Structure 1
Amino acid sequence: MSTTILCEARDLRVFPALENGQWLESGSDIARGLRAGMRSYEVDGIFCRGDLELTDDDCIYTWLLLLGMTGERAPKQNQLHIVVEIGGEQLLTRGVNRIYYDAMMDCSPVAPAQSEYFRGNLLEAYKCDAGNGMTRCMLLIAVFPAAMVVGSYLFHRRYDYLAEPLMALDDIDDAGNALLLFAPFSQALDLHRISFVYDESSDQFRLKVCDGSLLQRRLFDELDQSQQTILLQDEELPEDSRTQGPRMAPGADIDLQTTYGDVNGKALRFETLERPYRRCVYFHAHLTQFKGRQHGWAGSDEEGHRGVLAGRRVVISENASLSCESVLEPCNVNGGA
């Protein structure tokens, strides 16, 4: 599976694909290993040759001329021409900056449609399949039509290339990195308007509505027209429905008057021993807290996370620039860590 990595050109190191003075054949074991994401000792040897690296001052022809690899020795069609190394720390730092920028600017993460594997993994891990096309939301004690309960990433799939170095996730679709939530919660989670905070005293993950403008808003009003139709099962609401008392949805066991404020502080409900990874919950809460400070949301300075990640920590300076530093004691990457 190919992976798209976004980074600045200045973070790339470019070397000629030469091994023992010969261009690497595209069908060689070394080339096949590179395409599979494997880095052999021969490739390590290429990256150690700083004298062969393409510099900012070189043009390609001059570079090849200095290498003595022009004319008959120039690379042919079925040979590799260059190998590229991405600086790990530069990639990580710029990737983290991208995550923070997206969170702060209300950039809703866009990723490919959820795979059956991802959703099936969550349904099995958290036992949320209620049968008959219904799925349980892990926050509300209610089941909904399956299309209205969304697999919600804590560390989003858009940043898959940072999942292993930053979060120690071998699989971005790991059930420990996601929750099954009613659509309005999923949307707010993606936009870092809500987060979940681990409560050690009760060993529970509790909802924290960080954007105060949501508190009085009905969950029903956050659904699009098609979702509202599914929930109402083609019934029509009276125009003054907002001012009336409780009104249960025909398509689910939920009061249509329920607001975000009504469920603020509510704990996730688990039917199995499976839990989301705390490091993923903490990092999402950390991003939400950061966004809240930028937007002046009340309560954004409260302690709602632990800033330690799996082997890295994010350092935020006073001017909100970011860098990554190694931590001496990475958190446990097993179980609920």
Structure 2
Amino acid sequence: MRPLLTAAFLAATTGPVFATDTLEALGEALFFDVNLSKNRTQSCATCHDPEVGFVDPRETEAGRAVSLGDDGESLGDRTAPTAAYAMFTPSFEQLDKTAWRGGMFWDGRAAGLAGQAGGPPLNPIEMGMPDKASVVARLAENDAYVASFKALFGDAIWDDDTAAYDAMTQAIAAFERTPFFAPFDSKYDRFLRGEVDLSPQEELGRVLFTSEQFTNCNLCHQLRMSPIAQDEPFTNYEYHNIGTPVNKAVRAANGVKGPDLGLLANPDVDTASAGGRFKVPTLRNVAVTGPYMHNGVFEDLRTVVLFYNKYNTLDKARQINPETNKPWAMPEIPQNLAVDELTHGPALDDKRVDALVAFMKTLTDQRYEHLLED
């Protein structure tokens, strides 16, 4: 499933050194290079594995909710979001006093794909490199990189560590903008092109999902007539507090104390109403990229639908988390809940819950369809 590395990089390991002729090919090599982490065990692809929808499939002490660091011990506090379709994320901006959109990571703190690519290598609980100079020194160990950086950025690129580091992030971003990350070939896309039919259950889910009369899904996960993407990315990239509870298993494993402030942890945001808000994720490949929410607190996609549905029903049975058989836990940050969005639409019966799940399964890229449960 990984794209073929250019002949230049393959030849560089056994024969004469050649420079790649494209930024995308250089970025591909960098994306899979474990030598850019402190202990040479972790690459971008480790936490964004293209075999499983560009998320982290590794089991840890906290399950698959968060990622294990290069040191083999550190655990993060948020799940690694998919890198698929991330190219369409707009720049971070504040829309008004209580609304924000865009930016990378769950809190929008990085600007664009290149900004995101520059974060993990220097994060002490991720790839663990001490500084940019150390990363550049690792790059310089590879003669193919040296030749490629010179060919693509000029001979002087190696004279400035910051410039070389930024060049690395630009190359990774260029690779992440290729169709390998956004094929738009799911069953839903093929349905739109008239190539396949949806099942009756999937069609019911599609109707429910796209109608504000029946659900609140499309308030945040549908972006028609998008200026960002010609096709539907299934997110409006805004920030909301939906009342996600603490993942106690993660906190028991990583020892983190205190609430995750979400958007308020973004250094460019200092408004109290930002607390507890997280960026709306794409629903592309959602059925194969669990666990769910920013902290991986829910294992099953159906649980997520039921979690939203609890805001719209007084049925006592719907106030029970099916994964714990206990009442839904309280929000980690109870302030700033997106009440209007969460309470929009009627309660859903099991038939409609299952239909929504069936429809979201149709958003799975064709190469991941084998991962879907029967």
TM range, smaller chain = under 0.3
User: What is the TM-score with the length of structure 1 in the denominator?
Assistant: 0.23
More helix by share: 2
Report 1 or 2 for greater relative contact order, CA contacts < 8 Å, sequence distance ≥ 6: 2
More strand by share: 1
User: What is the TM-score with the length of structure 2 in the denominator?
Assistant: 0.21
Larger radius of gyration: 1
